[in-house]
């Protein structure tokens, strides 16, 4: 369980990025986060994980009774509780995917996952011996998501980490991540692909101007009225997938 | 890069350093009084510089960082020179505390500027080079004014010289170098956390600030000792870690640091063998030899490097 108390995020020069937010998040769930550029998604997610580089975060973030917001909480405890992954990954050094996996495993020795199992579940056996920085952006994202699950924090935050992954691998990842949910992980995922979010999420948030404007199940939130509120000048239609009846967006 | 090859090359380097252009009439005297201390010193300083370069590159996430390009070495030289001319001899076995103070001051300055302004790779190195020139100029002026023989000593500080210290200092430096190696080897898991960029360090459960602080302080002490014993010797700290990573195909510190340590020693022992053998009985400054090889490597890295931050591409 994540408890957020009076979270406010400001940029280094004082601009308010997230207005006061307090909430409790249940684990074993995927929460999808959607909003226009500059709406405060990334600031919100960074505040939950308390990544305060270049950000002024005030308030409190607790995970299972651990105060993530205190600077005295050691990095090694935080890494077992919550992991924030962005979309851009680079290494200035010669280091292989397998070594990345070993580092992730070391970061959480209590992890229930094994490297071999993760390689299989995430279908990355062809990438495992590659040098990380020589892979494509999409391959790096796939590997990093696998690494996140291997580390098995209580909460995994994927901030646009799907942005360069192809359709086929995205669907494969969705089902792989579903298995991690069953094992007790909570996932928060921000994306600009509403159809992917609808496929993956139990709960959906719309964020605008640093505030959650709408939240609830995908069924409740994903309506053309709510989308119209986000984008007043654009006509967006919500339809149902003929395959599984989930809501999809066309425009 | 196998163990046996490393040991073989180390042996060759040792033999060259000891016996190249040896005057066999007074062999035992020259060996014991001059060549052996020099061999131990060259190995200790080479390994310490390579170790320092490797750690700096990691914690600053900058493949071009090393004590010389960051200006730490020239800060150390200035500190040591100032302490010497005031007659302060604080330190151990002829190793100078002033050098450590100079090195620490420069590193703190660089870290502050980096953290405040979020500088890019090139800018950090440019800043380091400017600090280096500034300190070197101050050193030159100081030596010219403070010391009647100052102008000759300037060459010692700026280009390095491994012939100035005796066996005791050489052994002391060897002990220092190997202890720092042992510590960094134990510290290697924390260093590994830096391999995927600064933003990811905490995600591996490693405290970025604490690790950087410890690394910076230790490297300053190590570089300070090296410079106070042998002046500024550039590029060993840049070349050796890079070549070891490339040859081994990995950057995991527990795997590379032993090789960085030994090959750093080999590099400087070989450079020194060249420096005193080429135009015997005249000696070339050893820093000139390392720069002659190291500067082209730096240029190569600068052109063909891969940058780790998106804004760089």
- What are B213-253's pLDDT values in tens digits? 899 889 999 999 999 899 999 999 999 999 999 899 999 99
Q: What is the CA angle A78-A147-A106, rounded to 5? A: 55
The alpha-carbon gap from A247 to the nearest alpha carbon of chain B, in Å, equals 34
8-state DSSP, A74: -
**Is residue B88 very low, low, confident or very high in pLDDT (cuts 50, 70, 90)?**
low
Contact A79 B204 (CB under 8 A): yes
CB contact under 8 A, A96 and B250: yes
For B69, the domain range is 45-303
pLDDT on residue B89: 65
Residues of B with Cβ-Cβ distance to A156 under 8 angstroms: none
Asked if the Cβ–Cβ distance from A93 to B207 is below 8 Å, we say no
Mean pLDDT confidence for B90-119: 81
Q: Any idea where the domains of chain A sit in the sequence?
A: 2-250
**Which residue among B193, B245, B309 places its CB closest to the CB of A90?**
B309
Residue-wise pLDDT for A104-136, tens only, equals 999 999 999 999 999 999 999 999 999 999 999
Sheet-wide strand order for A30-34: A82-85, A155-159, A186-190, A30-34, A203-208, A211-217
Yes or no: say if B180 and B51 are a contact pair by the CB < 8 Å rule: yes
Chain A residues with CB-CB distance to B246 below 8 A: 94
Chain centroid to CA B137: how far? 20
Determine the residue among B117, B204, B307 to mutate to test chain A binding: the one whose Cβ has the most chain A Cβ atoms within 10 Å. B204
Confidence (pLDDT) at B311: 35
Question: Quick one: which of A186, A129, A126 has its CA closest to A152?
Answer: A186
* Distance from C-alpha of B91 to C-alpha of B97, rounded to nearest angstrom: 5
DSSP for A6-58, please give it.
EEEEEETTS-EEEEEEEEEE-SS-EEEEE--TTSSHHHHHHHHHT--TTEEEE
Q: What is the CATH number of the domain that holds B96?
A: 1.10.3470.10
* Nearest residue of A to residue B204, measured between CA atoms: A107
Q: Is B170 contained in some domain?
A: yes
Q: State whether A100 and B249 contact (CB < 8 Å).
A: no
Rounded to whole angstroms, the Cα distance separating B230 from B160 reads: 5
B35 in a structural domain = no
Which of these CATH numbers, 1.10.4080.10, 3.90.1150.10, 3.40.190.10, 3.40.50.300, describes A2-250? Answer: 3.40.50.300
> Which chain B positions have a beta carbon within 8 Å of A131's beta carbon?
249
Distance of CA B246 to the CA centre of its chain: 19
Once rounded to an integer, what is the mean pLDDT over residues A81-96?
A: 93
Residue B118 is assigned to a structural domain of this protein: yes
* Section A169-188 average pLDDT: 92
pTM of the model: 0.91
- Which chain A residue's Cα is nearest to B201? A75
- pLDDT for B174 beyond 60: yes
**Smallest CA–CA separation between A153 and chain B, in Å?**
10
CB contact under 8 A, A53 and B58: no
pLDDT at B90 (0 to 100): 62
CA distance A137 to chain B (A): 11
CB pairs under 8 A between A and B: 87
pLDDT, position B281: 81
Using the beta-carbon criterion (under 8 Å), do A100 and B189 form an inter-chain contact?
no
| Chain B interface with A: residues with Cβ < 8 Å | 57-58, 61-63, 118, 189, 192-193, 195-208, 245-246, 249-252, 305-310
Rounded average pLDDT over A159-178: 93
pLDDT band at B277 (very low <50, low <70, confident <90, very high): confident
What's residue B93's pLDDT?
63
Whether residue B203 and residue A85 make contact (CB cut-off 8 A), yes or no, is: yes
User: How many angstroms away from the CA of A80 is the closest CA of chain B?
Assistant: 8
Which tokens hold the place of B132? 């280096």
Looking at the structure of chain B, the number of domains it has is 1
Please check the confidence at residue B283 and state whether its pLDDT lies above 70: yes
pLDDT at residue number B198:
87
pLDDT of res. B92 = 61
Answer yes or no: is B177 within a domain.
yes
Determine contact, residues A107/B204, Cβ cutoff 8 Å. Answer: yes
Q: For A26-37, how does the pLDDT look when each residue is reduced to its tens digit (9 = 90+)?
A: 888 999 999 999
Locate the chain B residue with the closest alpha carbon to A73: B207
Query: What is the ipTM score, two decimals?
Result: 0.91
Backbone angles phi, psi at A55, to 5 degrees: -130, 145
CB A149 within 8 Å of CB A118: yes
CB-nearest to A92 from B203, B206, B307 is B307
Mean pLDDT value across chain A = 93
**Residue A72 structure tokens:** 């005295």
- The answer to whether residue B194 sits within a structural domain is yes
Which chain B residue shows the shortest CA-CA distance from A72?
A: B207
Mean pLDDT of chain B: 88
| CA distances in angstroms from B180 to A34, A130, B50, B147, B174, listed in the order given | 50, 32, 12, 34, 10
* pLDDT value for B135: 94
């Amino acid at each position: 369980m994540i408890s957020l108390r009076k979270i406010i995020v400001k940029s280094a020069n004082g601009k308010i990025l997230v207005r006061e937010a307090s909430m409790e998040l249940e684990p074993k769930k995927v929460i999808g986060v959607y909003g226009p550029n500059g709406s405060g998604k990334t600031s919100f997610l960074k505040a939950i994980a308390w990544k305060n580089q270049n950000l002024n975060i005030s308030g409190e973030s607790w995970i299972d009774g651990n105060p993530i917001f205190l600077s005295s909480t050691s990095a090694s405890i935080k890494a077992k509780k919550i992991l924030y992954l962005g979309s851009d990954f680079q290494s200035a050094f010669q280091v292989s995917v397998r070594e990345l996996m070993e580092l992730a495993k070391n970061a959480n020795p209590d992890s229930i996952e094994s490297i071999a199992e993760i390689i299989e579940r995430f279908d990355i056996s062809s990438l495992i011996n590659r040098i990380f920085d020589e892979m494509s952006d999409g391959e790096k994202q796939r590997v990093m998501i696998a690494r996140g699950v291997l580390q098995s924090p209580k909460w995994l935050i994927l901030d646009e980490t799907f942005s360069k992954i192809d359709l086929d691998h995205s669907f494969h990842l969705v089902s792989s991540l579903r298995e991690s949910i069953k094992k007790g992980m909570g996932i928060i995922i921000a994306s600009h692909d509403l159809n992917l979010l609808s496929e993956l999420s139990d709960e959906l948030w719309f964020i605008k101007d640093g505030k959650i404007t709408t939240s609830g199940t995908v069924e409740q939130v994903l309506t053309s009225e709510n989308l119209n509120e986000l984008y007043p000048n654009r006509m967006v239609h919500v339809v149902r997938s003929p395959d599984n009846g989930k809501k999809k967006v066309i425009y | 890069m196998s163990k046996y090859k490393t040991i073989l090359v180390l042996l060759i380097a040792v033999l060259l350093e000891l016996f190249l252009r040896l005057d066999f009439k007074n062999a035992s005297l020259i060996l014991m009084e001059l060549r052996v201390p020099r061999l131990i010193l060259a190995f200790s300083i080479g390994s310490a510089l390579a170790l320092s370069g490797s750690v700096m590159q990691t914690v600053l996430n900058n493949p071009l960082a090393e004590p010389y390009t960051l200006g730490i070495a020239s800060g150390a030289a200035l500190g040591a020179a100032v302490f010497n001319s005031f007659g302060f001899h604080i330190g151990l076995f002829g190793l100078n505390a002033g050098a450590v103070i100079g090195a620490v001051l420069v590193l703190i300055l660089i870290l502050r500027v980096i953290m405040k302004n979020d500088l890019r790779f090139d800018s950090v190195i440019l800043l380091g080079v400017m600090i280096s020139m500034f300190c070197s100029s101050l050193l030159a002026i100081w030596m010219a004014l403070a010391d009647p023989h100052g102008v000759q000593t300037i060459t010692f500080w700026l280009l390095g010289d491994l012939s100035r210290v005796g066996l005791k200092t050489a052994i002391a430096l060897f002990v220092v170098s190997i202890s720092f190696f042992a510590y960094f080897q134990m510290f290697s898991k924390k260093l590994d956390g830096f391999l995927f960029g600064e933003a990811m360090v905490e995600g591996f459960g490693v405290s970025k600030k604490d690790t950087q602080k410890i690394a910076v302080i230790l490297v300053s002490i190590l570089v300070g000792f090296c410079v106070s014993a042998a002046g500024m010797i550039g590029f060993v700290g840049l070349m050796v870690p890079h070549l070891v990573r490339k040859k081994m195909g990995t950057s995991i510190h527990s795997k590379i640091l032993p090789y960085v340590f030994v090959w750093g020693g080999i590099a400087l022992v070989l450079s020194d063998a060249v420096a005193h053998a080429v135009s015997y009985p005249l000696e070339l400054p050893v820093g000139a030899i390392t720069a002659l090889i190291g500067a082209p490597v730096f240029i190569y890295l600068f052109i063909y490097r891969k940058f780790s931050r998106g804004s760089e591409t």
